[in-house]
Amino acid sequence: MMKAREKLFVAVYVLFLVVLYLLSSTDLIIKERRQEICPISIVADTTSDEYYVNFKKGMDQAGIEFHADVRFVTLYEENQTDQQIDLLMREQQDGARVLISVAVDETSLENALADKQISVPIVVIGTELPMDKVSAVVMTDTYEMGKTLARKAIEENEPDVRFYVFGGEKENSKVRRFYDGISSALEKEGRTAIRISDPGEGENFRSTIESLVYPESGTAVILALDPKSLEMTADILAGSSVYQTYVKGLYGRGTTVKILNELDKGIIRGVCVTDEFSLGYLSVRQAVAVAKNQTVQDPIVLPDYYIEKEDLRNPKYEKMLYPIE
């Protein structure tokens, strides 16, 4: 027969199991504290996320590390300032604790903040607004980037070459600063550029390039103001070896797969780039810090780099251009 001590031990053990079950079923056991998730919304300055591939990789990585639920929102129409403000207000209403904006127009965003249309903290990418209006800034200096690109184009081409600047009909603040940088560098060297705008299909770019294919027309260099214009121009040049004879250099900015492929093929001669992965990562990191009322470094200014075909496999740039997901 079971001894009294053994019976007591069994009874205590059964009682312990019963109590344990009751506690766990009624949430009375001390459980691991759930990690708070911070809702953040990013409103871009374009209608597509195809120019934000590396940026979104950095954004997603920061979201995992800093426990943020990050929404990436694009416009319905290109460079529509009012629409961007409306989307920021919508994301605010839908519960975003911090907003991140790639501003279409700095002045319009600043006015919206001054009018208290946007009341939650906001982190601005790509432009430096007054710190009494925004909570943090993560940016690249596109004015200096434009100067760098123009200087390289001047150095690498003959003195008598003509310069063209290709861009869309509608511009945002980032494009305007980039163009101002290009113009400044050209003027310093006594050069001028012919500005060509296109509504979006590249026909104005094509007709301009076709006009070069005549005796005595000389040769040209093209500087593209935005990744889309650079891609369209590269497509036009890639379709004709004759065009490539008259266009001695195509330059621009951006790190899309298409741009890097055309650079590798030699259709694009050089591009200015920045670390888009870090831009996305740091913007989310700053937003989470703002949400937690932590001190943020401001502004964070990322460097730009000029790269050519031979730099694509340089370890210095490879991780930046092809970040691992």
- The superfamily (CATH) of domain 38-140+275-304 is Response regulator (3.40.50.2300)
Q: Are 71 and 40 in contact (CB under 8 A)?
A: yes
Contact, 146 vs 182, CB < 8 A?
A: yes
* 143-274 shares the fold of 38-140+275-304: yes
Per-residue pLDDT tens over the stretch 22-78: 555 555 444 455 678 999 999 999 888 888 999 999 999 999 999 999 999 999 988
- Are 127 and 103 in contact by the 8 Å Cβ rule? The answer is yes
Q: Could you report the per-residue pLDDT of 209-236, keeping only the tens digit for each?
A: 999 988 777 899 999 999 999 999 999 9
At 162 the pLDDT is: 94
What kind and span of H or E run contains 122? strand 122-125
* pLDDT for position 16: 63
CA 316, 317, 320, 322 torsion-angle sign:
negative
Q: Which residues are paired to 100 by β-bridges?
A: 42, 123
45-66 CB burial, b ≥16 within 10 A, e <16 = bbeeeebbbbbbbbbbbbbeeb
261 φ, ψ (degrees, to nearest 5):
-65, -45
pTM above 0.95, yes or no: no
Determine the pLDDT at residue 317: 93
Domain boundary assignment for the chain: 38-140+275-304, 143-274
pLDDT at 25: 57
Average pLDDT per 10 consecutive residues for the chain, totaling 325 residues: 56 61 54 76 91 94 96 91 93 96 88 86 84 86 96 94 90 88 96 90 92 84 96 96 94 95 97 95 96 87 95 92 81
Tokens standing for residue 317: 């740039």
Q: What is the pLDDT of residue 28?
A: 46
Where is 310: in which H helix or E strand? Answer: none
Angstrom CA distances, 249 to 151, 152, 310, stand at 13, 11, 16
Can you name the CATH fold of 143-274?
Rossmann fold (3.40.50)
Rounded Cα gap, residues 258 and 262, in angstroms: 6
Residue 136: per-residue pLDDT: 92
- Please count the other Cβ atoms lying within 10 Å of the Cβ belonging to residue 239: 12
Question: Which residue, 51, 5, 25, is CA-closest to 273?
Answer: 51
